Structures are given as C-alpha cells and as structure tokens.
Amino acid sequence: MRALRLSKRVTAVDARVASPSADGGARFSKRLTEEWLFRATLYNSLRAWVAARRSLWLRVPRVLEADPRELRIDYERLDGWTPLRNVIRDRAFERHSTDALRRTFWTIGAALEELHRHTRRIHGDFDFDNILVKPSEGKVAFIDFTPPVYARFRDYNRADPYLDIATFILVVRAKYPPHRLYLALRSRLRAFALAFMEGYFRADPAKYDASALERALGEVLERTYLGESFAGRYLRRTRLFRIDDLMPGT
Ligand SMILES: Nc1ncnc2c1ncn2[C@@H]1O[C@H](COP(=O)(O)OP(=O)(O)OP(=O)(O)O)[C@@H](O)[C@H]1O
Ligand SMILES: [Mg+2]
C-alpha cells in the first residue's frame, strides 16, 4: 500500500514541469548531470522521506518539485542545520558539550538504523557532509541520496548495511587532511564513534557483528578515495583503526 502511494507520488511529481523557485529561497535545488542519476536520486529521496515520517530520530528534507527536463530536484531547505563536517573538523567541536555530542552521535546511529530498516536500502555515501545536525533538535537529518561517483552498480544501495557504518566510522576517526591529522587524535572521537554504534544497535547490542564491520572497513578503504588518502594509508597502521573498542554495550 505504502509502495503504491510512493510510486503514484513519483509520477505526479515527475510529470510536472517546474518553474524557477519563486518563494524567496526556501528551497535547495540540486541539478543532476544524467537522467539515471536524476531518477535514482528522486526515488531514493522519496523513499528516505517516507521512512523519516515513520522515524523517531531521522529527518529527511521533503521533495518539493522535480523537473525531469532540467534534471533538477527542489528540496525543502533546512535552515539553521549544520553539516556534521563543521562540528567534526572544528578543533573544539564547536564548543558543544561532550554530552550533547554523544547524544548527537547516538542519534545518528539510531537514525541510520531506522533508514536501513524502513527502506531496506543503505545510504551509500554516509559521509559527514551528508548529515545535518541542529543541537536543539532531537533528530538528525540525512541528505544527498545521489549515487556516489564510486558506486559501480545501479543497485549500489542494496548492499551490506555495514558499509554505511564503516564509512561513518572512517570519516569520524580518520578523514582529516594531512596538515590537520592531529585532529584524529582527540580522545573524544572514540567515545563519539562508540555512541554512534550504541545508537545503531540500541535494540539489540548482541546483533553487532565485528567481523562484518571489519570486512566493510576493508571494502570501503579499497573501493573509495578514503583508502587512497594520506590519512587512510597512515592511520590504517595505527591503533585508531582498531575496532575492538567499538562494541556496543561495553
Ligand atoms: N535540503 C537542504 N537544506 C539545507 N542544506 C542542504 C540541503 N541539501 C543539501 N544541502 C547542503 O548542500 C551541500 C551539498 O548538497 P548534496 O550533499 O546534496 O550534494 P552533493 O552531491 O554532495 O554536491 P557537491 O558534491 O557538489 O557538494 C550539503 O553538504 C549541505 O551542506
Ligand atoms: Mg553530499
């Protein structure tokens, strides 16, 4: 029933020819370069939005309009939300308290699990630029459901959920430019990565499978630019890449 309503909605949105945004910039417009990217992004965004409506922790911007000729999708713009990148790449985590940050990371884990469960898809590019946070909100927002450049297959998002988990762990613990690698050594990062795992496995910590995470980390490092980066190569040999301290419930 739900799936039927979703597909009707896509047709309705799709068939409309959009006019330029007239409402003073309350939208965020995204132009895709290829037809298949436009379609995949639109379907993924609508699917995720439906999932978010049933979620406690997840928010996804609504699709306001989609123009198949211009390959453009207009989203509700989330004002006052910050990409998680800004928080992580700031030396003092933008002065948020440890408790607030731990809660935010827990919520990101819980929201990711909801996305996986409700859509039966993975995000596929679960990077810190694609997660928006707002300290006063109980939810976190996920954006950018466009297939990433390193996606080899059109059904890239039907893959192992541990790939999203691994991408996030790598980004939090190791994605720093060489001249700012000291940021990776902040001890709070370990606590935040663990809070994320606790959020994801909140219903059943025993479901966590360390070897699945290990495999997914290897795959992400092999398949994406993260392994090529200086930090990827350097940090791989250090204790930062240990995952035995990421077991939820410890
Ligand atoms: N609905 C939205 N509301 C507010 N900001 C948004 C919204 N969607 C995207 N953004 C901002 O724009 C940035 C880029 O958007 P998005 O991640 O969808 O595109 P992208 O494919 O990663 O593009 P690029 O690689 O060119 O940045 C995001 O990191 C975020 O900061
Ligand atoms: Mg993005």
**In the chain, what are the domain boundaries?**
2-17+28-76, 82-241
Distances from the Cα of 125 to the Cα of 60, 196, 247, angstroms:
15, 17, 23
| pTM metric for this prediction | 0.88
Confidence of residue 154 (pLDDT cuts 50, 70, 90): confident
Selected residue with higher pLDDT from 24 and 145? 145
Sort 103 into a burial class: Cβ within 10 Å, 0-12 / 13-18 / 19+. Answer: middle
Residue 25 has what pLDDT?
A: 58
Per-residue pLDDT, averaged over 39-43, amounts to: 97
Q: Which amino acid is at 24?
A: G
Mean pLDDT lowest among 52-56, 176-180, 199-203? 176-180
Q: Taking 90 as the threshold, does the pLDDT of residue 160 lie above it?
A: yes
DSSP 180: G
Residue 150 has what pLDDT?
A: 77
Q: Which numbered atom of ligand 1 lies nearest the CA of 61?
A: 1
Residue 22 has what pLDDT?
A: 47
- SS3 state at 86: helix
120, 157 Cβ separation under 8 angstroms: no
Residue 73 has what pLDDT?
A: 98
- SS3 state at 74: strand
- CA 114, 117, 119, 120 dihedral sign is positive
Per-residue pLDDT, averaged over 213-226, amounts to: 87
Question: What's the whole-number average pLDDT of the chain?
Answer: 87
Residue of 21, 27, 28, 126 with the most ligand 1 atoms within 8 Å of its CB, for mutation: 28
Residue 52 has what pLDDT?
A: 98
Q: Which numbered atom of ligand 1 lies nearest the CA of 85?
A: 29
CA of 232 to the centre of ligand 1 (A): 24
CATH class of 82-241: mainly alpha
Q: Taking 90 as the threshold, does the pLDDT of residue 164 lie above it?
A: yes
Ligand with an atom nearest the CA of residue 41? 1
Ligand with an atom nearest the CA of residue 147? 1
Query: Could you give the CA distance from residue 132 to residue 90 in angstroms, rounded to a whole number?
Result: 15
Give the pLDDT confidence of 107-132 residue by residue, as tens digits. 999 999 999 999 999 999 999 999 99
Q: Where are the beta strands (DSSP E) in 25-114?
A: 27-31, 58-59, 63-67, 72-76, 82-83
